[in-house]
Structure 1
Amino acid sequence: MNKSFKKLLMVMSLLMMFGVLAACSDSETGSDSDSANKGSDSNSEEATGAAMEDYDVGVQFKAKEPVQFSMLFSDHPNYPLKDDWLLLEEIEKRTNVTFDITSVPMSDYEEKRSLLISTGDAPYIIPKTYPGQEGPFVSSGAILPVSDYIDLMPNFKKTIEDYNMEPYLEGLRQEDGKYYLLPGMHENVWPDYTLAMRTDILEELGLDAPTTWEEVEVVLEKMKEAYPDSTPFSDRFEFNSTLNIAATAFGTRAGWGLGNGLKFDFDKDEFYFAPATDGYKQMVTYFNGLVEKGLLDPESMTQEDDQAVQKLLKEQSFVINTNSQTVIDYQKGLDEKLGEGEAKMKKILMPGGPAGQVMAGSKLENGIMISAKAKDDPNFEAMMQFIDWLWYSPEGKEFAKWGVEGVTYTKDENGKRQLADDVNYVGLNPDGTKALNVDYGFSGGVFSYGGSTELLQSMMSEEELEFQKGMMETKETLLPDPPIKFNAMELEQSTLLSTPLVDYVKQNTLKFILGQRDLSEWDDYVAELEQKGMQKFVDLANKVYQDKK
């Protein structure tokens, strides 16, 4: 073999070796380990499956071919799922997407969701998940660390920047620094639940709307004097909403806001167990006094919502917890029962208390978990683009809330929206014969949440806008507590400690308020919490917080 031929063989071998190395390099660059960055350039030509190559902010998402995504659905009894909803038809028309829906009654949703995730049978898209509810599913790997994939979601990223959401998203991050929930995001903190009162009764008695819990008690006493057969305050939501808003004013946590019982002291930079504090004692003492005086219906803690509403409509009570939608229902019921204009229900500003004129709040709302198995679907990228458009783009949020322009609503030259003549929603168009949510599927809790303050307020009545303005002008918004980034073992340990504590708190809160346990036994109650591991739970939380903050 001559030298020239040997040199040629050597050159060819080197070229082949470099080619193999280059191919390996290309393969590694496009491997699954880098899937989180696919589509990070919204104009990338690497989009896979039915995903769009040019998807970006301001671009209407439409899959390159028809696709179907499985989804869990919380079915509300007041506007149950219908296959022929215009919402679903229009989603398919605009995006080329249909759903394989697993529908679950709202009352069973959390339990069913847990079961499906734990058995590996959960649909890809798991909406109606509130911040914190994703925690138990993180360690198993059953749900996706969605923060790894937000480069596929340009509208989501823009919302984070525009609404200054990073401080709120920080509370979602788990020990690994990732978050596993795509939350609904509001431009501003906004309050909703408070007390509704018969303001015509207030006028009759020459009373102003109360601004503190002390003034609430005075109003209830005057109502009782004028109507001795009544129990002025009969509540719904098993009293959990009222306890939640009252707890803020008393500087503690209770009701819907109880959580694991921990509250953060910003001055001391540490957590403590709120239901064992003087603020909690003040709160239960206050409500126990209302029960003792016959001002608060003791059935408020156990009765069905409809029972509380019926007492209001029968004028057995005049005060009840409410939100922006239910107060309209109360008014409608009173108009039908007593005659239009005979009674007037109105939201009052959340009462202040020992902690001042304060309100708790967050810009986060319920959001979406993604099943971990979805990432292996060839249309995963298309699914993330679709979620980004429907739930996070201004166009998608307006569509999910208002419906189809020219069909369910119109828009004037100034951009103001108005429901179509035959469509009603939360009393905005009482003459409408069709309901935006019931008959068309829009403005439902699964698809419609979050967004700009303008969009949020676009469906508010003048009274609700007045309420929002009053809250913003008179209340100080408290900062959210910092996150405690438990790992899987720590989370299991904290759950084992907190569950019996929280159960015991709920039981004894009820007993103290109803007078089934005398308030003189408060110190005994705190000692019993200690015996159940309260300090051990607080110490664990503070150690994890300090180690990982």
Structure 2
Amino acid sequence: MVKVFKKLVLLVAVLTVVATILSACSNDKKTEANVEKSKTSMDGYKVGDTFKAKKPVKFSILYSDHPNYPYKKDWLLWKEMKKRTNVTLKPTIVPMSDYEQKRSLLISSGDAPLIIPKTYPGQEAAFVSSGAILPVSDYIDKMPNFKEKVKKWNMQADLDTLRQEDGKFYVLPGLHEEIWPDYSLAVRTDIFKKNNIAIPKTWAELQSALKKLKEVYPDVTPFSDRWQMNSTLNIAATSFGTVAGWGTTSGMQYDESKDKYVFSGATKEYKDMVTYFHSLVEQGLLDKESLTQDDQQAIQKFVSGKSFVIGANAQELVAYRTSMDKNLGKGKYSIQKIMVPGGPAGQVMAGSRLENGIMINAKAKDDPNFDTMLQFIDWLWYSDEGEEFAKWGVEGTTYTKENGKRKLAKDVNYVGLNPSGTKALNTDFGFSGGVFAYGGTTELLQSTFSDEELKFQKEMADTKTPLKANPPYPLSEGDREQATLLSTPLKDMTSQNTLRFINGSRPLSEWDKYVSELKAKGMDKYSDLINKAYKDFKKKN
């Protein structure tokens, strides 16, 4: 019995020693893993540092391929990126037209690359409940440039609009220092000047100007719009105190006086806006085909002198001039993108300082170079140096810089800034593309603007009051599905009836009947769902 006991004691001792050795080995492995995990990241990485991984690393990325400047593996962008950062990106190339669908398929199948850019705020919501993407708000402390810009530009409220039901956000948005207005109306300034008509600053003044044009040119419908009027309705809705067109999104708008969300398409403000544009059609001032014609039809009318007003942005203004040089002749016309007109709600400006940004595959957190990846993303997308690199390229090769002012190299062109350049900054070098070059200071944003566009931006900034960001109302997965089922037919009905009210095929006397039809489609149920989510989130946060 004593011998058996001694053997047991000896066995326990041996097992204890073995367990201790195994534990030590395990701890050694954990230590090795931790060392491995931080082996390539920079020590003490902070704002102002030029990021460079300690050793070469590779990260997979989803790449939206733009047809105007298709992907090239020999771009200077890739070579210089590797040289500066020690990072090689392995892109999964997806045509821009299929990007959203392909992104969803890859995430759902678990095959998505680690870095998933070109994601607009709100698009990430569909992937939150599955756990497929990272709650990036948990890792902001590892991104000093991102943190610094949020603090410096007072953007915490902007980020709050991204928070999901759990209080976290899942997309790293592009950050703009200020709201960037782009879309407005282009007018034939030569025609206005010839007939002593002032450039309108309100929608009422625009109507008066169009009436005068109609009197002088009775055979012309002076305003023929493009984008099925989605741009014009969007910019007009803001000054009427509502949302419409491209700005419809969920169809809900926040009423600060009542501290609740209401369905925009049923409001008095929306009716006022629709009534205004109906009156333009009724008086022969607005082409009723504006709501249905394709862009080329609208453009052809404007560039050939068959209309005098059309929707525009800075890039399209350049395209209009190219066509008009051929159709009307250089020096035979003049056009201008005018300040967005003000309306009943005043000279206000909607917009977000958040740009499309990045989702990160949840698998990334287990990658041994995860911290390195976060530092790389922080530098390229959020540091002043990285943003300048993504936009302008390599100093001395694609551009020069003197007294802080950048200038394209003699042989490089971009958006008409250097027409004699034989190479394009985006097509031939890969810079100023749609995947990396977003966000940054207003100075950097405007560094590629023409003098004309700078004047437009200044007038907008000096005249307009930016609206506050709407408070968030994150939905649970079940509520999100329900909201989609309710909102889709409601928005479709609003869109169809907006067209009919404006073009006169449905009389405005039936407005109350139309609102009743919205209620029959579940408008009140949808509003209750959104407001419950808003109140719940507000209470929790």
Return the TM-score normalized by structure 2: 0.91
Structure 1 counterpart of 2:514 = 525
- The whole-number CA distance in structure 2 between the counterparts of 1:26 and 1:548 is 42
What is the letter of the counterpart of residue 233 of structure 1? Answer: F
Question: Tell me, what secondary structure is at the counterpart of 2:489?
Answer: helix
Shift of 1:410: 0.6
Structure 1 counterpart of 2:178 = 188
User: Residues 296 and 78 from structure 1, CA distance in 2 versus in 1: closer, same or farther, beyond 3 angstroms?
Assistant: farther
Shift of 1:113: 2.0
User: Residues 80 and 300 from structure 1, CA distance in 2 versus in 1: closer, same or farther, beyond 3 angstroms?
Assistant: farther
Shift of 1:548: 2.0
Structure 2 counterpart of 1:460 = 449
Tell me whether 521-530 or 495-504 shows the greater mean CA deviation: 495-504
What is the letter of the counterpart of residue 429 of structure 1? Answer: N
- Residues 1:494 and 2:479 are matched in the alignment: no
2:161–2:471 contact (8 Å) kept in structure 1:
yes
- Residues 1:98 and 2:49 are matched in the alignment: no
Question: Tell me, what secondary structure is at the counterpart of 1:327?
Answer: helix
What is the letter of the counterpart of residue 468 of structure 1? Answer: Q
Tell me whether 312-321 or 175-184 shows the greater mean CA deviation: 312-321
Structure 2 counterpart of 1:41 = none
- The whole-number CA distance in structure 2 between the counterparts of 1:144 and 1:351 is 42
Structure 2 counterpart of 1:276 = 266
Question: Tell me, what secondary structure is at the counterpart of 2:324?
Answer: helix
Shift of 1:165: 1.2
Tell me whether 514-523 or 262-271 shows the greater mean CA deviation: 514-523
Shift of 1:152: 2.2
Q: Give the counterpart of 1:511 among 476, 493, 500.
A: 500
Shift of 1:527: 0.4
2:157–2:469 contact (8 Å) kept in structure 1:
no
Give % identity: 63
Question: Tell me, what secondary structure is at the counterpart of 1:217?
Answer: helix
- Residues 1:239 and 2:220 are matched in the alignment: no
User: Residues 383 and 173 from structure 1, CA distance in 2 versus in 1: closer, same or farther, beyond 3 angstroms?
Assistant: same
Structure 1 counterpart of 2:461 = 472
Question: Tell me, what secondary structure is at the counterpart of 2:453?
Answer: helix
Shift of 1:46: 7.6
- Residues 1:325 and 2:315 are matched in the alignment: yes
Q: Give the counterpart of 1:483 among 449, 459, 472.
A: 472
Pairs within 5 Å for 1:46-445 = 47-48=37-38, 50-412=40-402, 414-445=403-434
Tell me whether 499-508 or 71-80 shows the greater mean CA deviation: 71-80
Task: Figure out how many residues of one structure are paired with residues of the other and give that number.
Answer: 527
What is the letter of the counterpart of residue 464 of structure 1? Answer: E
- The whole-number CA distance in structure 1 between the counterparts of 2:229 and 2:31 is 55
Shift of 1:79: 2.2
- The whole-number CA distance in structure 2 between the counterparts of 1:541 and 1:31 is 49
Q: Give the counterpart of 2:440 among 427, 431, 451.
A: 451
Cα deviation code 1:9-48 (max 9, x no counterpart) = 9xx99x989989997997999899xxxxx9xxxxxx7853
What is the letter of the counterpart of residue 178 of structure 1? Answer: K
User: Residues 175 and 199 from structure 1, CA distance in 2 versus in 1: closer, same or farther, beyond 3 angstroms?
Assistant: same
- The whole-number CA distance in structure 2 between the counterparts of 1:85 and 1:231 is 47
Return the TM-score normalized by structure 1: 0.89
Question: Tell me, what secondary structure is at the counterpart of 1:521?
Answer: helix
Pairs within 5 Å for 1:3-42 = none
- The whole-number CA distance in structure 2 between the counterparts of 1:16 and 1:315 is 93
Shift of 1:85: 2.1
Cα deviation code 1:204-230 (max 9, x no counterpart) = 111111111111122222233333343
Shift of 1:392: 0.6
Question: Tell me, what secondary structure is at the counterpart of 1:320?
Answer: strand
Shift of 1:495: 2.1
Question: Tell me, what secondary structure is at the counterpart of 2:314?
Answer: coil
Shift of 1:487: 2.0
Shift of 1:396: 0.6
Structure 2 gap ranges (5+):
3-9
Shift of 1:364: 0.7
Question: Tell me, what secondary structure is at the counterpart of 1:253?
Answer: coil
Shift of 1:331: 2.2
1:49–1:381 contact (8 Å) kept in structure 2:
no
Tell me whether 456-465 or 473-482 shows the greater mean CA deviation: 456-465
What is the letter of the counterpart of residue 355 of structure 1? Answer: A
- The whole-number CA distance in structure 2 between the counterparts of 1:30 and 1:501 is 57
RMSD value, Cα: 2.7
Question: Tell me, what secondary structure is at the counterpart of 2:90?
Answer: strand
User: Residues 458 and 177 from structure 1, CA distance in 2 versus in 1: closer, same or farther, beyond 3 angstroms?
Assistant: same
- The whole-number CA distance in structure 2 between the counterparts of 1:469 and 1:94 is 36
User: Residues 46 and 148 from structure 1, CA distance in 2 versus in 1: closer, same or farther, beyond 3 angstroms?
Assistant: farther
1:230–1:315 contact (8 Å) kept in structure 2:
no
- The whole-number CA distance in structure 2 between the counterparts of 1:438 and 1:304 is 27
Shift of 1:309: 2.2
